[in-house]
Structure 1
Amino acid sequence: MKDMIKRIFLVAFILLVLTAISGFFYMQKHPIENNKPAGTALMMTGKAVK
């Protein structure tokens, strides 16, 4: 029972670390730009929509 709980926590921790690393690299490629108006949203294609 303890071994299963340790394995679950280990897998959850690894997934959390991988998510943080992939998010870091995503933000390096797509930084947050503060010069866009607050009323616009981005489509999946990257075009701004009002």
Structure 2
Amino acid sequence: MKEMLKRIFLVAFILLVLTAISGFFYMQKHPLEEGKSTGKSLKFSGQTSK
């Protein structure tokens, strides 16, 4: 029973990591266009640019 729970959690963790990695690479190719409504995009440094 304990081994089965370990295996279930391991499989769920691996699927979560794979989903995160694939989502990261998807966002690299298709960035969100949130700045269309305001015309500005927020950079990681906190500065706004047009």
TM-score by length of 2: 0.68
**What are the superposed Cα offsets for residues 11-50 of structure 1, whole Å, 9 maximum, x if unpaired?**
000000000000000000000113434xxxxxxxxxxxxx
Identity %: 84
CA distance in 2 between partners of 1:34 and 1:2 (Å): 46
Unaligned runs of 5+ in 1: 38-50
Q: How does 1:11-26 map to 2 (within 5 A)?
A: 11-26=11-26
Task: Give the TM-score normalised by structure 1.
Answer: 0.68
Whose helix proportion is higher, 1 or 2? Answer: 2
Q: May I ask how many residue pairs the two structures share in their alignment?
A: 38
* Structure 2 unaligned blocks of 5 or more: 38-50
